[in-house]
Chains A and B, each alone.
Chain A
């Protein structure tokens, strides 16, 4: 990695995907980048998934602000404006269903279908699909210069990247049409007869379930196909030259191990990695000044000097260990990806969550904001 201390994102980027392992501060980084872009005058929106309550409040998304999930919130930053959206999977899918159903009656029928309502809540990949679709809709609306996405917490990049096609595949199941038309009979056409599959499926969902599921999938598949026909394939959004990725990781052994695996996948899949943020970096610890120098200070405090000395020495050792871990993390990233910009962000406990703190963080990570 180059010695860049700050992020340089090409001006052509309209979408910034903040990706990385779980629990590394992705949401904070996404918010800080968005705050920075807004502060330099770009029309910006940040789409976030599960922010802490304080962070949500800073972005105008708190429950006290009267915003429902899925509403666009707006905050002022030095006269500039930042929009924020708490992703609501249900509302994103509802929008797709309303806009891409063959007619209004069909849309209304689907919106109240219990299978549909349960699906948007619990189907694996539905959240990732909604996030990608939401970003796509916002980016193509012409209202924003930059859309920042705080990606859902997946353990690896593939889970996020493949979710859109997984959902599309579920909905385009060739079995759906047969099941929709003829239920039990359809299963026999598919060569799955003998009642075995039905026995299992129906024990899962009750008697009429298989036919209902088939009908739903056929209709839902048609809606998603129409959405993608008009909007273009969602997978293309991720690999478009106007989309850049900011990989975020914490400066710990496990997070960096995961981040290195992320990078391989991102590059393989032809996404454009604009930089890596190494978060929660503990700076160098001044060397131990020697027992006598410390004793001199401790003696002024009275009490058990030797016990206090041991305590101070232990804490100094621990802090040194932690700084060494951060250094090793930095080195591992630089060695494997020498040409990717690496930005170090010092550890802050608790993490920044007020608008002022986010502004400071954004300005140090990404001074140009454009």
Chain B
């Protein structure tokens, strides 16, 4: 039993289950470690023998940095055995989509590299989101190059919008090639066997409650099932030496500093317990990841992070 009040066990089965999916959407609010979790999932799934692409819509290079690459480009880059990373860049995705529609990469470049067309394309609402999601989906279900695509997608604020684009297309646009694509995409998003979302949050009660609400909205509005809620950055709470400490001990200053750190972890566990007690409706599996004092900025650190992942909450059987 841990302080959050339940038996703990390894998160390995959660990764095992994700490895059988084709499309894993990772999201969370800015700064919670979304990209870290996406990279970690990528490593874990690749370690299970899958050929994995982690595709990010973020504009920074962090996904590359943490996996040992100095940069991150719009071309897939191999960073570990079976693991590739790529930045999804809307204009590139649109040109590639154009090549599919026009059945020629050369003609597509001719059209989309035209400056006036490029500007017009940028003005089409939703097209960027559609092209990013479409590209990730294409690699997951049609491209054939990968077994699993981990989509380090937009932050929670924008996620419903991006994932809602296929449905929006279905309800607003006249039948045509795009609608057929959107139909297929929507069917795959709703396919619990092949698609899953992983939502990431910090161990704070209200942000986690917001994450639950997002999970419900994802199921209801997009049809996308949430495989796990990952609670990232849990500080240690066990700290030896607190009870036995006397004023004037030679070890007082150092042990007090350890106690201060453990107080952070203890407080986080209270928040976690309060959230779990209140979120009876949420049936998601909860995985906690320990705070990484070294910043989780390397493949070794990410593997260790996954190893220390712990499942603290199993869905109760709905009655």
Contact B123 A119 (CB under 8 A): yes
Q: A119-B123, A196-B107, A297-B245 are in contact. Are A203 and B101 (CB under 8 A)?
A: yes
B178 contacts A350, C-beta separation under 8 Å: no
What sequence of 0s and 1s flags, for each residue 40-84 of chain B, a beta carbon within 8 Å of any chain A beta carbon? Answer: 000000000000000000111010011000000000000000000
Report the stretch among A11-19, A150-158, A232-240 that lies at the interface: A150-158
From A169, A286, A299, give the contact of B257 (CB < 8 A).
A286
Whether A311 is near chain B, meaning CB under 8 Å from some CB there, is yes
Verify A308–B240 contact, CB threshold 8 A: yes
User: Which one, A50-58, A74-82, A90-98, A268-276, is touching chain B?
Assistant: A50-58
B125 with A153: CB separation less than 8 A: no
Q: Please report the total number of A residues contacting B with Cβ < 8 Å.
A: 78
Contact partners of A254 in chain B: CB under 8 A = 62, 65-66, 295, 297
CB distance from A318 to the nearest CB of B (A): 4
- Which B residues lie within 8 Å of A176 (CB)? 120
**Which residues 230-280 in B have Cβ within 8 Å of A in the complex?**
235-236, 238-241, 243-246, 249-251, 253-255, 257-258, 261-262, 264, 267-268, 271
A173 touches B119 (CB 8 A): yes
B128 CB-CB contact with A under 8 Å: yes
Cα distance A285–B255 when bound, in Å?
10
- Does residue B317 face the partner (Cβ distance < 8 Å to A)? no
Shortest distance from the beta carbon of B319 to any chain A beta carbon, whole Å: 31
Q: How many A-B Cβ pairs are below 8 Å?
A: 194
Tell me, in angstroms, the Cα distance from A207 to B253 when the chains sit together.
74
Are B295 and A253 closer than 8 Å at their CB atoms? Answer: yes
Q: Which A residues between 183 and 217 are near B, CB-CB below 8 angstroms? A: 190, 192, 196-197, 199-207, 213, 217
Q: In the complex the two chains form, is B250's CB within 8 Å of A289's CB? A: yes
Q: In the complex, what residues of B have CB within 8 A of residue A286's CB?
A: 253-254, 257
**Whose C-beta in chain A lies nearest to the C-beta of B130?**
A204
Residues in A with CB closer than 8 Å to B125 are 115, 118-119, 121-123
- Pair A159/B59 contact, Cβ less than 8 Å: yes
Complex alpha-carbon distance, A201 and B234, angstroms? 49
Q: Is A137 an interface residue (CB 8 A)?
A: no
A155 CB to closest chain B CB, in angstroms?
3
* Extra pairs beyond A21-B60, A53-B206, A196-B107 (11, CB < 8 Å): A24-B31, A122-B126, A175-B119, A192-B114, A213-B124, A285-B257, A297-B249, A298-B240, A311-B240, A312-B239, A312-B258
Closest 6 CB pairs of A and B: A23-B31, A118-B125, A300-B244, A155-B59, A308-B240, A318-B293
A residues neighboring B (CB under 8 Å) = 21-25, 50, 52-54, 114-115, 118-119, 121-124, 153-156, 159, 166, 169-171, 173-176, 179, 190, 192, 196-197, 199-207, 213, 217, 252-254, 257-258, 285-290, 293-294, 296-301, 308-309, 311-312, 315-316, 318-319, 321-322, 325, 349-350
